[in-house]
Amino acid sequence: MSIAGSVEGGLRNRSTSVDSPSPLESFRGGLVPGFNHLDGFNTQVRDQPHGRSAMKAFLGFHQLRSRTLLGEAVTELNFTAIFMFFHIGIVRAATMKDTFSAPAVVGGLGHFLLIVLCTFAGAGSGAHFNPNITVATTLIGLTTVYRCLVYMAFQLCGAMLGVLLMRIVLGWDVTPTDLAVCSRGSLSFGSAVCVEAFFFHALLCVIGGISFDPRQMRIFGPVLAPIFIASAIGLIVFTSLNIGQPGYGPMLNWAQCVGTSIVVGEFNGDELISFLGPTIASLVHSALFIAVPPSHAQTGRWRLPLIESQVPSIRVHSDHPFEGEGSRRLSLDIEAPSSINGGSHRRM
């Protein structure tokens, strides 16, 4: 047999399936499909935690000494700092007098480009850069509580670092407005909480319907999802053009608001809005996502991956190119409770 024939024969017999780690080791809460073993490709239900280990898995006890988690948290810190530095620059450019006739359009376009680049570059950590996003993924069982707390701490530090660097650049005598401090403008406190809650709910619907839906992930992949998410944020900035002006801007990231106020050394009270509004939205969205998930017609009700033992796993089978068409087919594997203890496995 020739060398070429031997190679081809070996490729024919080699399995193309790649096993992903169990949820005890993997992270599913990333906004970029395809990273961090998102959507659980080839994850068997027998690997899912059950019983007492389920709550420990959700709390993240297994991650207490994880160097990988620490590295991902540093990535969050780094890109949150980058985001904040350029965010202030974009706001200053958009609101500069006699420069742009439509500052919201400039701000929306600038934030779209910024978020797209940061999301692609920081995909290894899940590309959150926002504690409100991290909390939202925790409420639907895609992020452990421990990871959530670590991420929030590093995101706040990253926001403070970005603002601090911009203050050094502009001069220590700058005003809070120069550093794009969060403000509700002419809105009342209740109105500001309402608009922030709805803005963030809309954003979560886009994220949940694209990044956390296996069907959409297969269609859009890791390339288009960040673009759509950034487009939603750009649309939110554009929509805020005539809301609460002058002075109002979307406050969807409490690390951004609190970090800026800490560096400035002055709190105006609007920081609470950036926490209350998105938190309300996260609670509402998580209830909807669990009751009626994006793929409910295919997979039924949503099962919290880190808590429930019977989690449907999406298995992608791909025929090897040497075998012919190279087609891909999708099947849903669900394992009966008895299979955890060595029982049978059934396919739906």
Distance CA 188, CA 246 (A): 13
The per-residue pLDDT string of the chain (348 residues; one tens digit each, 9 = 90 and over) reads 444 454 444 444 444 444 444 444 467 788 877 665 433 333 333 345 555 677 777 788 788 888 889 999 999 999 999 999 999 988 888 777 665 556 667 777 888 888 888 888 877 888 899 999 999 999 988 888 999 999 999 999 999 999 999 999 999 999 888 898 999 988 999 999 999 999 999 999 998 888 877 777 777 777 788 888 889 988 898 888 778 778 888 999 999 999 999 999 989 889 999 999 999 999 999 999 888 877 655 655 556 665 554 334 434 333 333 333 333 333 333 333 333 333 333 333
Q: What is the DSSP string of 132-197?
A: HHHHHHHHTTSS-HHHHHHHHHHHHHHHHHHHHHHHHHH-TT--GGGGT----TT--HHHHHHHHH
Domains for the chain: give ranges and CATH numbers: 56-298 (1.20.1080.10)
Distance CA 246, CA 265 (A): 23
Q: Name the pTM for this structure.
A: 0.75
- Burial of residue 139, with CB atoms counted within 10 A of its CB: 0-12 exposed, 13-18 middle, 19 or more buried: buried
Beta carbons of 12 and 324 less than 8 angstroms apart: no
Residue from 259, 262, 258, 285 nearest 272 by CA? 258
Distance CA 145, CA 58 (A): 6
Residue indicated by tokens 């898995």 = 57
Beta carbons of 28 and 47 less than 8 angstroms apart: no
> What is the residue type of 146?
Y
